[in-house]
């Protein structure tokens, strides 16, 4: 059987409209969908909200989208690896919403599993709790955090089968499996595409139900 | 008071924490998370077999830094250093990773700090100078890990005390610090009170008070001298 979800990198990126909320798996330059990001940068599609842990490095990885002025807003946890983010924020060219990393991960997971919001002790009493509802549970202050959903998720997996089941590679897994559950359209860039049955069912991390498009670099 | 060169200070702090972990792991397993900088150096000194290092980017059983020529850029710790696997290590997604932390399954985290105050408040995520924009896992770690150890040099680069009466920088968590380890001393928070547990031979208690803005009580045991590094 052929892979009915297969699209070329460019066909996949053509699904992204200006103004979209785009979730991207990454931790620094580990585990991010390199070919998709390069094609998104080349497409020039703008006014994007990028939801990711960080923004790569200046002009590298996700950093390309900011260098290209394609970004309107960022939602993420850590931008000190790309100083261009603070500059753009100071100049008012973008807005940045900082979220503690564990809350960020859980908010994405929550969106994927149909939980609209949750209480967490993380960040209670800090600047990042300002304006958020606070309640005590077990004598501990907790703040209300809302789920984070996206229009499109661009994720990086190691291998897919032709149905779109996914497995990952080492710490390139990071946010990819949870983002694969939290967007309307999920596009997975993979290194290898295998026949159905080639992946051990016990080892599949992302079942194909969550995956809409499978793409890979054409060598 | 004798000043301690920076490299020696850092090594001593890391070795002191490692000694503490080795002692705790003597009768079982210990799951720890190490921040960037001095905290990462703790891994070089621990010797107990039951100590497992968790990295919040999704790995349990983190090994030593990868040697030149064997670096895999998809095998990193949360400081983006290429690391190695240990037998029995595992990988997982970020929500599971922070579930381990928030869920109280990680026994201890070691982190650096700009300031810690006498109410055990920690400031370690931002200096609001317009150049920094990131929190990472700092807030999740201090509120989630069962024990929070602060590894920091006693004075800032400009020579100011970092153990203060009240944090002046934005805090990472309220009353979350459990221990503070510097090159001169080991402090613990005991029922909300900062106490001195160990002191280095290069300094007297009176001298330590002059470089420590926070008030502290004495609770010196003496069985594990700080200078044994």
Q: Which residues of A66-101 are buried (b: 16+ CB within 10 A; e: fewer)?
A: bbbebbeebbbbbbbbbebbbbbbeeeebebebbbb
The interface pTM score, or ipTM, of the predicted complex is 0.97
pLDDT at B229 over 80: no
User: What's the first-to-final CA gap in chain A, in angstroms?
Assistant: 22
Residue-wise DSSP of B28-83: S-EEEEE-SSHHHHGGGT---TTEEEEETTTEEEEEEEPPTT---TTSB-TT--BE
**What is the fold, at CATH topology level, of the domain defined by A9-99+148-215?**
Glutaconate Coenzyme A-transferase (3.40.1080)
pLDDT of residue B228: 44
Question: Does the reported pTM lie above 0.90?
Answer: yes
Q: Determine how β-strand A192-194 pairs with β-strand A213-215.
A: unpaired
pLDDT at residue A44, rounded to an integer: 97
Cross-chain residue pair B94–A128, CB shorter than 8 Å = no
Could you report how far apart the first and last alpha carbons of chain B are, in Å?
Answer: 19
Structure tokens at B21: 């972990």
Average pLDDT of the residues in A77-87: 98
- Residue A209 is classified by DSSP as G
For the sheet with B163-164, list strands across it: B122-123, B115-117, B163-164
The yes-or-no verdict on residue B207 having pLDDT over 80 is yes
The pair phi, psi for residue B144, each rounded to 5°, is -100, -40
Residue ranges in chain A assigned as alpha helix (H): 9-13, 34-43, 63-67, 84-90, 101-112, 176-179
Contact B33, B109 (CB under 8 A): yes
Q: Report the residue of chain A nearest B123, measured CA to CA.
A: A126
- The residue with tokens 């003597």 is B26
Task: Decide: B56 and B19 in contact? Cβ < 8 Å.
Answer: no
- Sorting pLDDT into bands at 50, 70 and 90, what band is A62? very high
CB < 8 Å from B in window 114-143 of A: 120-128
| pLDDT (tens digit per residue) in A21-36 | 999 999 999 999 999 9
pLDDT in the model for residue B27? 83
Mean pLDDT of B14-29: 95
Q: For residues A41 and A13, what is the distance between their CA atoms, to the nearest angstrom?
A: 10
Judge: B80–A79 Cβ closer than 8 Å, yes or no: no
How do residues A149-190 score in pLDDT, each as one tens digit?
Answer: 999 999 999 999 999 999 999 999 999 999 999 999 999 999
Candidates B133, B170, B172; CA nearest to A90 is B133
Q: Is B56 an annotated catalytic residue?
A: yes
Average pLDDT, chain A: 97
Residue A74 distance to chain B (closest CA, Å) = 11
State the pLDDT confidence band at B227, using cuts at 50, 70 and 90.
Answer: very low
Residues A148 and A103 sit within 8 Å (Cβ to Cβ): no
A1–chain B nearest CA distance, Å: 30
The share of chain B scoring above pLDDT 90, in percent, equals: 94
Of A83, A106, A169, the CB nearest to B95: A106
User: In this structure, which topology does domain B6-218 adopt according to CATH?
Assistant: Glutaconate Coenzyme A-transferase (3.40.1080)
Q: Indicate if the pLDDT at residue B68 is higher than 80.
A: yes
Q: What is the pLDDT of residue B226?
A: 55
CA-based nearest residue in chain B for residue A28: B80
What percent of chain B shows pLDDT beyond 70? 97
Query: Which among A105, A126, A169 has the least Cβ separation from residue B98?
Result: A105
Closest C-alpha to B164, from B106, B216, B128, B224: B216
Model confidence over A41-61: pLDDT tens digits? 999 999 999 999 999 999 999
Residue-wise pLDDT tens digits, B96-133: 999 999 999 999 999 999 999 999 999 999 999 999 99
Q: What is the pLDDT of residue A217?
A: 86
Q: Which residues of B touch A (CB under 8 A)?
A: 55-59, 72-78, 80, 91-95, 97-99, 101-102, 130-140, 143-144, 170-174
Residues in B touching A207 (Cβ below 8 Å):
none
């Amino acid at each position: 059987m052929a892979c009915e979800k297969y699209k070329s990198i460019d066909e996949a990126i053509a699904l992204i409209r200006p103004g979209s909320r785009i979730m991207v798996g990454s931790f620094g330059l580990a585990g991010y969908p390199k070919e998709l990001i390069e094609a998104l940068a080349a497409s020039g599609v703008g006014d994007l909200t990028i939801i990711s842990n960080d923004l790569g490095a200046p002009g590298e990885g996700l950093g390309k989208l900011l260098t290209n002025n394609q970004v309107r807003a960022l939602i993420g946890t850590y931008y000190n690896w790309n100083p261009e983010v603070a500059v753009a924020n100071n100049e008012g060219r973008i807005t940045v919403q900082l979220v503690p990393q564990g809350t960020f991960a859980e908010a994405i997971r929550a969106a994927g599993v149909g939980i609209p919001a949750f209480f967490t002790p993380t960040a209670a009493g800090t600047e990042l709790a300002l304006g958020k509802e606070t309640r005590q549970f077990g004598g501990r202050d907790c703040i209300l955090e809302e789920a984070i959903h996206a229009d499109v998720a661009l994720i990086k997996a190691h291998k897919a089968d032709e149905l779109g089941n996914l497995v990952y590679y080492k710490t390139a897994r990071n946010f990819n499996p949870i983002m694969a559950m939290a967007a309307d359209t999920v596009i997975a860039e993979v290194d290898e595409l295998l026949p159905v049955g080639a992946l051990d069912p016990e080892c599949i991390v992302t079942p194909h139900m969550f995956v809409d498009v499978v793409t890979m670099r054409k060598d | 008071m004798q000043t301690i060169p920076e490299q020696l200070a850092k090594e001593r702090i890391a070795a002191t924490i490692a000694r503490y972990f080795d002692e705790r792991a003597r009768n079982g397993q210990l799951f720890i998370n190490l921040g960037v900088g001095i905290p990462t150096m703790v891994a070089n000194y621990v010797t107990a077999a039951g100590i497992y290092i968790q990295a919040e980017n999704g790995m349990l059983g983190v090994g030593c830094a990868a040697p030149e020529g064997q670096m895999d850029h998809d095998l990193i710790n949360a400081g983006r250093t290429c690391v190695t696997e240990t037998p029995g290590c595992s990988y997982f997604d970020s929500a599971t990773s922070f579930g381990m932390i928030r869920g109280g399954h990680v026994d201890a985290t070691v982190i650096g700090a700009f300031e810690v105050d006498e109410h055990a408040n920690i400031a370690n995520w931002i200096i609001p100078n317009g150049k920094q924009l990131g929190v990472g896992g700092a807030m999740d770690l201090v509120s989630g890990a069962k024990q929070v150890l602060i590894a920091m040099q006693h004075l800032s680069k400009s020579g100011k005390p970092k153990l203060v009466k009240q944090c002046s920088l934005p805090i990472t968590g309220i009353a979350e610090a459990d221990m503070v380890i510097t090159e001169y001393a080991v402090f613990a928070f005991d029922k909300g009170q900062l106490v001195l547990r160990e002191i280095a031979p290069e300094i007297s208690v009176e001298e330590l008070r002059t470089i420590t803005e926070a008030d502290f009580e004495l609770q010196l045991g003496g069985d594990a001298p700080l200078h044994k590094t």
